[in-house]
Chain A
């Protein structure tokens, strides 16, 4: 029974590793059975830099999840991120043979393959090719052409690709544990699955998932993915800035950011100070609140402006009916939605996973958006196709060139 099957999402994040165990319900919702997490080490900017250490952390998180949810985890969906991920839109075209004018599955498969026949760098592999719309004989916006009549089928795809070896690093890390990898999914895409409802996707929405090491974004318009990408910029950068600017250790900077930080300027009293208590190895210190906020503000503003410049290359940003949805650990930063609203001039909301239920604390925490999104993604995949092994996944990475 595919829909009641256990699905596990694993996100190897820069600051922590999240494992979410979920169960698909026949009504299409997901019940979260348990979550496991472990602080992440050996990961920088969404990519593994220390294989052994990262593997231990993943193991820790998986064990944690197994205990919490009381299940055995055998296979997982893995999220990937990193600056190497790129995306573009492409259109494929197929002509039907003269003696046939009804479009069937083969033609749709053909057009998908055709759309992928674009040159991406030799070392890159396709991660996703997401159908946007079909065009049949010049008729735009066809959602499903199977059964329609026509000689010419075209399909618009949004294609996400990345450096093959870097994607394989994540897979290998999980495979060594040993766990099976069901599929690899772009983290931002996974988050968007649970943060947005179908209605919001139709209206047009931008999901910004700001994590520890990367900022993933996915833009939906007309219900389909139009733009996506990954900036290697995240909460770690804010912490690093604070640590350097105020000259305090990273750990203190991280704590200060979470407890006191805000990216809104002018909200503090003039000369308002924050007292850092002394503890072993760290002499106490007073920090000016406005200074802390200035450092955070500059960094967050820069990141968002960079994002906006990237998105402005195509016109979709003006047609976002539903607005911006910010998720990921950094969305907990005080005032980030207001800043985003100011920069993009579009309403911005803080968002966490929707349409799921179960462990409430996990569902409502934006840090789990990606991992829960993976479960959702798994659910969708499994209703589409009954099962796909790891072998195929790996095979996909090679074949899809």
Chain B
């Protein structure tokens, strides 16, 4: 790939931000994987393709709430962005059916997080 130059920075930022508006992210650091995030990722992948959804499925690092792993963050336009915790395979399938397709937030799995960001 071509070497990055100063003017590429804004273009990359715009293209990432304009990327998928509907996405699911699975925490896949050692803590998440130990808690079964690999299985959860596969369950989500299967259910998304079975239901023919176009939601973007990605991995990310550790959010810090290791006690509540596996963590799955879901962003669907029109719904608040939420983090589901202690996700099971059944819950993963329900995320696709209920949250992505049914546009409903799942009961009893949301983890609220409180922190401020040091810079924006």
Do the two chains belong together in a single complex? no
